[in-house]
Amino acid sequence: MISVTKLEIAKMIDHSLLHPTMDDKILMEGCEIAKKYNVASVCIKPYAVKMATEILKGTDVMVGTVIGFPHGSNTVNVKVFETAEAIKDGAVEIDMVVNIGKVLSEDWTYIENEIKQIHTTCKKGNAALKVIFENDFLPEDLHKIKLCELCSKLKVDFVKTSTGYGMVKQPDGSYNYKGATEHDLKLMRRHTDTSIEVKAAGGVRTLEDTLKVKSWGVTRIGATATEAIVSAVNE
């Protein structure tokens, strides 16, 4: 097994606090978990950015939030407004869902403009931009590769696999998602400029999972199982 410290693993984690049923008490407790384990960031629901910023003041844990979440279908102007508001409230990392319908329509001019406008807003506010592809909705590699190329051209900070909420109807009628797969992570690392980091989200729940994606070039994960992952490290 790869030799790592608890801090190295913790600093790969964006502690995810995004489920619709998470009430304020759960969100506050989640921020305290993030503080306890000194993770990279919390990725919290937009309305709670101010609260998280206050709780995490004076720590090394960053506050991030989501834009156009989870389906990416908001207009560009709305996404830009959301981004500016989140930054004003204290967010320093922005996880933005691309317009998936436009990706599938191969309207690359629209997608490039969308990412560019949000990236410009992030840069003005000194915030990092993570672009979420939602790979479960993109059955063709060519869409993922084109997104990697556009993100490389625009020099965003991260490309990210999934929201964790991109449920796809399965043959048995149930809804589920694959999340961060080996195929997609290796493809994204291969087709994205080396200056851009790769974030795995959806399905990374153990230390073994974390070490595995790290070996494929992933530097950040979205996780709800933070305590289990970090506690499993033997130093």
199 as an active site residue: the answer is: yes
User: Is the Cβ–Cβ distance between 181 and 141 less than 8 Å?
Assistant: no
36 as an active site residue: the answer is: no
Instruction: Write down the catalytic residue from 144, 146, 199, 214.
Output: 199
Instruction: Write down the catalytic residue from 45, 160, 184, 214.
Output: 160
> Measured on CA atoms in the order 6, 9, 12, 15, is the torsion positive or negative?
negative
58-64: long-range contacts (C-beta < 8 A, 24 or more apart)?
59/35, 61/34, 61/35, 62/92, 62/93, 63/90, 63/91, 63/92, 63/93, 64/14, 64/91, 64/92, 64/93, 64/94, 64/95, 64/128, 64/130
Instruction: Write down the catalytic residue from 14, 79, 95, 130.
Output: 95
Report the 10 Å Cβ neighbour count for 24.
11
Name residues whose C-beta falls within 8 Å of residue 98's C-beta, 6 or more positions apart in sequence.
68, 72, 111, 114, 115, 131, 132, 133, 134, 147
146 as an active site residue: the answer is: no
Catalytically active residues are: 95, 160, 199
